Structure 1
Amino acid sequence: MDEATSKGDQARTEILNAARDLFIKNGYNGTSMRAIAQAAGGRAVGGLYNHFKTKEEIFSAIIEEQNPYDDLMAAITGTGEIDTAPDFIRAMLGRTLRVMPRHYDFFQITQIDLREFQGAHLQRVLETKLLPNVLRVISEISALPGLKPVDPLGLMRVVASVVLGYMATRTLLPTGIFDDRSEDAWIDLYTDMVLHGLADDTRAEKG
């Protein structure tokens, strides 16, 4: 890589980082190309157009290039050799619930995409990159013993809901609203609820 290319890549990264922070702070419509240029090292607005044709192209590049795909896939596949579906899910959720809150800023960007573009940019990433690989992992889980017959898409949505819900409550709600349990204890509680549900089956058996 020559020096010009290296500087170009650095400039692109600075622009994307500055734009991401401004989009989160001010919203998509509240962020101008001029503001992005200023936040990205006091650049001239014309310099942005050397890298991106429009503001939407910058926004799209953030979702395409700064999504947590690698960390997410490492979390859901790095469980090691596990013999049962419940143990796989427990290990997968344990890793994912520790990793994904670090990417809450990307979660905020996806909310902007849903509001402004009906999720079009995120959908491309999901359809071409994430969903095929996640469904493959879900199919592997379903083939292991210890899990009642479930719809793979349903299982995927349940896991996604748990992860997103954990991220939201961990980040948005005041710390004092919870008790003094550690993060590990909360993750164990979440995982137990997913694996064992909320219904008291013993009462039904007694009836």
Structure 2
Amino acid sequence: MSLPFSKTERVNLSTAEVLLACGDPEGLNIMGEMFAGFGVHTPRRCLTMADAQTSVQERILNLMVVDSALADGEGYDFISWLRRSEITPNCYAPVILITGHTRPSQIFRGRDAGASFVVRKPVAPLIMMQRIIWLLNDQRKFVTSPGYCGPDRRVKALGPPVGSKGRRHDDLSAQVGAASTPNLEQDEIDALFKPRAVI
């Protein structure tokens, strides 16, 4: 499921179908104002898990932003339900989970529920837009197994999305520089693959 703009264009969310779910009316209004600033005209606002489930069944969504606390349940449970619902294409849509609990166990719980991203509250608009752009460039495969359903959790192994600068000091650059040492000769390469007896 892709967002309705390409990575070469200026980000325009005016045509995106966005679901915002939060159990706190004031928190939901803050999220709504943030996305109005991004150009989203009429996001689906849901206070409860039941409302969010209904919205998923009624319209095709490009992005979902779900708080961990809904009025009648937890955002984690909604995301797990969504990923296994088989309501295509919505079950594959990007989901950003917002949580005030940033203990590793809670972050892992969001990831294991199938969230595309877990973001800590309070969320600054710049951080939210950065996550949306990251998801636009996200090339992870969707995984369905008995124990997990959602985007591939192995972000570290894949490095940052193409065209993005990595956060970690050991992320490799996509640009290949000039050789710093001479190339190996063929017999040196062959010797690397020949087993040798250890003395």
Q: Same fold (TM over 0.5)?
A: no
Question: Which category describes the TM-score, using the shorter chain as reference length?
Answer: under 0.3
Instruction: Give the strand-richer structure, 1 or 2.
Output: 2
Query: Which structure exhibits the higher relative contact order, with contacts defined as CA atoms closer than 8 Å and separated by 6 or more residues?
Result: 1
Instruction: Give the helix-richer structure, 1 or 2.
Output: 1
Q: State the TM-score, normalizing by the size of structure 2.
A: 0.26
Q: State the TM-score, normalizing by the size of structure 1.
A: 0.25
